[in-house]
């Protein structure tokens, strides 16, 4: 009996999966560009260590109120740029950190970090601001920052500026313009604020919508306007320097004198106010004209009142933040990018049977500090010798280690020069790796 005939079901084409991309303004970083980041971060660790700064790592997610109170309710960051949301599990209002100084101060208060004296701390990590992405200005961006907590005195302000200058010097960026200003103390800023409001009210017809909104909430920020139509009027506005008392002026003069004796050139910019509410006394920026509108590489200042604003005891503090993307962009603009690190050795494996000997030898080399890259086999085998040597040369390695059958039969491996002394080769015993491993970090085969 024949089985009943069945009709084939119509074929259902599997819909093509949607191609996902990164969020706009949040970038992937991968080789060889990532090697530039590692190169810079290595300099950060070395310079911070030379100034006796230790690292701190704070969460990228904090309570929103930390930034409302610490950064300033009327700042652009809080009003326009924060990534904030309500935690659906417990209703907490949380924010991806737009900057890290409030987080560092929060950690210092929470863990009583300054109970036994001042702390010098630094951090490296991502920050988040919702703004229009452009060159050197991204929604997820990275900063290195330095904070001296519980340390008063103009000499600490100067030391932090020298620290930033030294870091830029180390990565090949000497001579970046340092612009200084002083925001004095609260009473002096209040007198200046009243004078600013009176001045801008007399010129109300020239104020744009943003300046009008800030007139009675944060008039100091009007001085930082980028509106060309307002520049001449703003240039004639009262300067805070004219309202400083003797103590504040002495503080600024001490900073200038210490920078001069340290060989760090500076200029006073009375319009440098920074965009955050917590600053007092010294504020400063490292500025270049080589990156267009995004020319501020580093900025900071003293913030003696922030601890109290965030619920802690009165504690002097000063710090700065530096944009890593902008620094690396300037490194590229100046043609100073560090070479991508290359392996010392590329392992050529002609036959899969050689893998056990190759694995054992290469691991012994790595344990001796030799940087090793092993050829990855093709789908149909390990790949031809020609293709392996082509990849060995492209890797930038100085030497190729050839694990050929004839060499392995004698308990040896062939070392072939790929750079200096190209073509020269010799053999090395597999059972004496410790004796010749580090010579593979030499420049020439004769050295090895």
* C-alpha to C-alpha distance for 444 and 429, rounded to whole angstroms: 19
In this prediction, residue 225 carries a pLDDT of 83
pLDDT in tens, 26-55: 999 998 899 999 999 999 999 999 999 999
Q: What is the pTM of this model?
A: 0.86
At 380, is the pLDDT very low, low, confident or very high (cuts 50, 70, 90)?
very low
Instruction: Return d(Cα 400, Cα 350) in angstroms, integer.
Output: 12
Q: Do domains 33-184+244-333 and 345-447 have the same CATH topology?
A: no
Query: In angstroms, rounded to a whole number, what is the distance separating the alpha carbons of residues 391 and 86?
Result: 51
- Structural domain boundaries in the chain: 33-184+244-333, 345-447
The 119-128 sheet, strands edge to edge: 54-55, 119-128, 140-149, 317-323, 296-302, 280-287, 177-182, 267-268
Of 191, 207, 164, which is closest to residue 44 (Cα–Cα)?
164
pLDDT tens, residue by residue, 259-284: 999 999 999 998 887 656 678 899 99
* Topology at the third CATH level for domain 33-184+244-333: BirA Bifunctional Protein; domain 2 (3.30.930)
Residue 44 · residue 55 · CB < 8 Å: no
Using an 8 Å Cβ cutoff, are 112 and 122 in contact?
no
Spatial distance between the Cα atoms of 425 and 416, rounded to a whole number of angstroms: 4
Question: What number of other Cβ atoms are within 10 A of residue 282's Cβ?
Answer: 27
CATH 3.40.190.80 fits 345-447, yes or no: no
Q: How confident is the model at residue 293 (pLDDT cuts 50, 70, 90)?
A: confident
More confident residue, 84 or 135: 84
pLDDT digits (tens, 9 = 90+) for 56-78: 999 999 999 999 998 877 677 88
Quick check: 176 and 288 in contact, CB under 8 A?
yes
pLDDT (average), residues 90-113? 96
């Amino acid at each position: 009996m024949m089985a009943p005939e069945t009709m084939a079901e119509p074929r259902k084409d599997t819909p093509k999966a949607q191609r996902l991309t990164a969020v706009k303004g949040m970038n992937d970083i991968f080789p060889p560009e990532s090697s530039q980041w590692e190169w810079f971060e290595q300099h950060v660790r070395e310079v911070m260590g030379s100034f006796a700064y230790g690292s701190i790592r704070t969460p990228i997610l904090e309570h929103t109120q930390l930034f409302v109170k610490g950064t300033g309710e009327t700042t652009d960051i809080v009003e326009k740029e924060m990534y904030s949301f309500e935690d659906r599990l417990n209703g907490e209002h949380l924010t991806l950190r737009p900057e890290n100084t409030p987080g560092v101060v929060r950690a210092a208060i929470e863990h009583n970090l300054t109970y036994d004296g001042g702390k010098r701390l630094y951090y490296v990590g991502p920050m988040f601001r919702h703004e229009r992405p452009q060159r050197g200005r991204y929604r997820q961006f990275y900063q290195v920052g330095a904070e001296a907590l519980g340390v008063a005195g103009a000499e600490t302000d100067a030391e932090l500026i020298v620290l930033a200058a030294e870091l830029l010097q180390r990565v090949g960026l000497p001579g970046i313009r340092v612009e200084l200003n002083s925001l004095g103390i609260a009473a002096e800023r209040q007198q200046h604020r009243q004078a600013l409001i009176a001045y801008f009210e007399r010129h109300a017809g020239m104020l744009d919508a943003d300046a009008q909104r800030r007139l009675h909430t944060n008039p100091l920020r009007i001085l930082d306007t980028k509106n060309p139509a307002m520049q001449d009027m703003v240039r004639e506005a009262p300067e805070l320097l004219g309202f400083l008392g003797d103590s504040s002026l002495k503080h600024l003069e001490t900073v200038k004198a210490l920078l001069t004796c340290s060989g760090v050139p500076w200029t006073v910019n009375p319009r440098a106010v920074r965009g955050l509410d917590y600053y007092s006394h010294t504020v400063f920026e490292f500025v270049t004209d080589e990156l267009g509108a995004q020319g501020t590489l580093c900025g900071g200042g003293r913030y003696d009142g922030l601890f109290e604003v965030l619920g802690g005891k009165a504690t002097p503090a000063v710090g700065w933040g530096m944009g890593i993307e902008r620094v690396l962009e300037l490194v590229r603009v100046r043609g100073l990018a560090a070479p991508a690190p290359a392996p010392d050795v590329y392992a050529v494996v002609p036959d899969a049977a050689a893998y056990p000997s190759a694995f054992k030898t290469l691991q012994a080399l790595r344990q001796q500090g030799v940087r090793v890259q092993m050829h990855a086999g093709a789908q149909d085998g390990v790949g031809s010798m020609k293709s392996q040597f082509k990849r060995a040369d492209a890797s930038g390695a100085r030497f190729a280690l050839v694990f050929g059958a004839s060499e392995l039969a004698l308990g040896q491996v062939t070392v072939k020069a790929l750079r200096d002394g190209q073509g020269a080769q010799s053999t090395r015993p597999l059972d004496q790796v410790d004796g010749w491993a580090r010579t593979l970090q030499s420049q020439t085969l004769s050295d090895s």
